[in-house]
Amino acid sequence: MPLTYWLEHAWLGSAVEPGVAVEISGDGRIAALRTGVDAPPPGAEVLRGLTLPGLANAHSHAFHRALRSEVQVGSGTFWTWREVMYGVAQNLTPDSYFALARAVYAEMALAGITNVGEFHYVHHAPGGTPYADPNAMGEALIEAAAAAGIRITLLDTAYLSSGFGEAPNEHQRRFSDGTAEAWAERVSALKPREHALIGAAIHSVRAVPAGQLAAVADWAAQRHAPLHVHLSEQTAENDACRAAHGCTPTELLAEHGVLGARTTGVHNTHLTDGDIALLGGSATGTCMCPTTERDLADGIGPAGRLQQAGSPLSLGSDSHAVIDLLEEARAMELNERLRSRTRGHWTANALLAAATADGHAALGRPDAGRLEPGALADFTTVALDSVRTAGPPPRLGAETAVFAASAADVRHTVVGGRHVVRDGHHTLVADVPSALAEAIAALRP
């Protein structure tokens, strides 16, 4: 007999439906979905609240979670923040990274995230010497996601230069494989598994020399794998790119065949009109990370113009100043309101689509992010009776989730039909706060 969930209310992409029965097949997919089911069928698992497709965190650096609050002391810039980040990166080992990532991914599950795009560039031991298994750090992240019960797209990142051809600095040596060809040889040994896909990333145009961009893009294209890249996060990157190549970072990526429907630019903050046309015209995606972009004072990217030009939007928590995809969705709209002094740039449905179906597609999972037969049985339930969400009628559940709820309101998370979070408690990691505290303390000198 297939497992059945009864959803008190469910967001089905354009509207909230009451009384939805979802049957799960043996391979962890939705076998059937019926609306208008007024009462739970016999033996069904009951999920009270508003059930959404599982949330997709399209951009994560798991080890940045150790920076939370530490980098809130005093002032500074992105570049001073980066120096603190390097200090944490230097202390990571495969074992300590597994412990930290397991706790971080468990925190994500508690926030309703069922799939993470891990933008992974801490590859080697300090100083740059490969581990006995050259992919030990990536394997630690893949295993951490399994231990936390969520899916992962490991975006193995080429990071070869400290800036437009300069050799990596002392902190960056453990990030570098030396050449794009050596990067490709190493990453080709990583194998996908049921919960894990392998994708590629170009850290940035400053970290991969122009002549090696195509090699990374070709590796991804040959495997039909997602390809992500930090793009125009800082004006200093744009200025340096113009000085080195006489063009913007977007133009440089276009020249070397990086843009396209499987590619996602992360941040896409400081763009020209021509950049927006290139990204939209090539269907290159945009991953906005509003809580990190505001934390680092990066600026507000032109998300609305990018989407209108043809660039699909996804969302990420990036540096994990907070882990809350509902807040990321809310912040994208509210940032645009502050800049334009007008309201209503995206509907709640459109913002949830960025946090679900479009985020999963950016991570190579077009079969996730929807509550429909054939899709992966990944979903999350938000309480409609908390102090933040009580009051509005359930038919406004999408608006309530985006504009009032937070990660603290997530009641259940189901991945592949299996309860990973039940009634607000993680079923695989007994004490997530303690796991986080212990893992972060182990990285301090």
| List 267, 270, 419, 426, catalytic entry | 267
φ/ψ bin of 369: left (φ > 0), alpha (ψ from -120 to 50), beta (otherwise): left
Catalytic residue (one of 177, 275, 295, 318): 318
In degrees, rounded to 5, the angle at the alpha carbon of residue 334 between the alpha carbons of residues 355 and 341 is 145
**168 DSSP 8-state letter:** P
Cα separation, 192 vs 400, in Å, equals 37
- Report the distance separating Cα 359 and Cα 363, nearest Å: 7
Classify residue 390 by burial, with Cβ atoms within 10 Å: 0-12, 13-18, 19+: exposed
- The owner of tokens 């907070």 is 322
- Cβ burial of 201 (10 Å; 0-12, 13-18, 19+) is buried
Q: Retrieve residue 245's tokens.
A: 């190549």
Q: Is 267 a catalytic residue?
A: yes
Enumerate residues 6+ apart whose C-beta is below 8 A from 172.
86, 159, 162
Residue 237 near residue 164 (C-beta atoms within 8 A)? no
Catalytic residues, by residue number, are 267, 318
